């Protein structure tokens, strides 16, 4: 079971994700509404895993991923992507994102991604 930071500007997405995670035994240690806040919370909370939306105001998920991985090269980040974000996905791979889950979110896809990135925890 993992401690997880949710970074997403959509309240609905955050709620859906938190519900899936908590129902399956994970702990949501924080929720951030943009990439900058996500980075600050990562630094403070040091969660096992971050779920990172891509399109967000202030700082997007790619920028936030870059800051987080610079701070902690071992950070485990699962990117939540939407259709048509292939280029962003490739950028995220280069920056060290380990897993991708496509929106709309499926419970199994979310749980599988969390399980894969935390195999060695």
**Which residues here bind Mg ion, judged by CB under 5 A?**
9, 53, 55-56
Least Å distance, CB 82 to Mg ion, is 8
CB 1 to Mg ion: min, Å: 26
Least distance CB 61 / Mg ion (angstroms): 8
42-61 CB burial, b ≥16 within 10 A, e <16: beeeebbbbbbbbebeebbb
Residues in CB range of 65: below 8 A, 6 or more apart: 52, 77, 79, 92, 95, 96, 97
For the record, the structure tokens of 23 come out as 């129902």
User: Are 5 and 32 within 8 A, CB to CB?
Assistant: yes
Nearer of residues 55 and 118 to Mg ion, judged by Cβ:
55
Nearer to Mg ion, 17 or 49 (CB): 17
- Closer to Mg ion by Cβ: residue 48 or 53: 53
Closer CB to Mg ion, residue 3 or residue 55?
A: 55
Smallest distance from Mg ion to CB 108, Å: 22
Report whether 9 contacts 57 (CB < 8 A). yes
């Amino acid at each position: 079971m993992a401690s997880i930071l949710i970074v997403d500007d959509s309240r609905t997405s955050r709620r859906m994700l938190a519900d899936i995670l908590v129902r399956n035994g994970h702990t949501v240690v924080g929720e951030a509404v943009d990439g900058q806040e996500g980075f600050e919370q990562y630094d403070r909370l040091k969660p096992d895993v971050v779920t990172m939306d891509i399109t967000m105001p202030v700082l997007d998920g790619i920028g936030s991923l870059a800051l987080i991985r610079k701070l902690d090269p071992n950070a485990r980040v699962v990117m939540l992507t939407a259709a048509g974000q292939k280029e962003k996905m490739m950028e995220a791979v280069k920056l060290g994102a380990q897993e991708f889950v496509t929106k709309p979110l499926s419970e199994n896809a979310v749980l599988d991604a969390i399980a894969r990135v935390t195999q060695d925890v």
